[in-house]
Amino acid sequence: MLNKKSDVKRLSINLSAQEVEKLEKYCQKTGRQTNDVIRELVRSLPIVVRHKL
């Protein structure tokens, strides 16, 4: 869990109007905040380790 201000980094992303609409509808239907949804999606990403040959 985050415990220091330095552990947080602010990001800015560009989304299409359709992507924004989809995200907003999802948040509205689930009662969740946009930041929480995006954080959960990022945390669920698999970590890919590529081995050098």
Beta strand extents in 1-53 (DSSP E only): none
Q: Please state whether the predicted TM-score (pTM) of the whole model is above 0.75.
A: no
Integer-rounded Cα radius of gyration of the chain: 15
Using CB atoms within 10 Å of the CB of residue 38, give its burial: 0 to 12 exposed, 13 to 18 middle, 19+ buried. Answer: middle
Provide the 3-class DSSP secondary structure of residue 7. helix
Give per-residue pLDDT as tens, 6-34: 788 999 999 999 999 999 999 999 999 99
Candidates 14, 4, 1; CA nearest to 23 is: 14
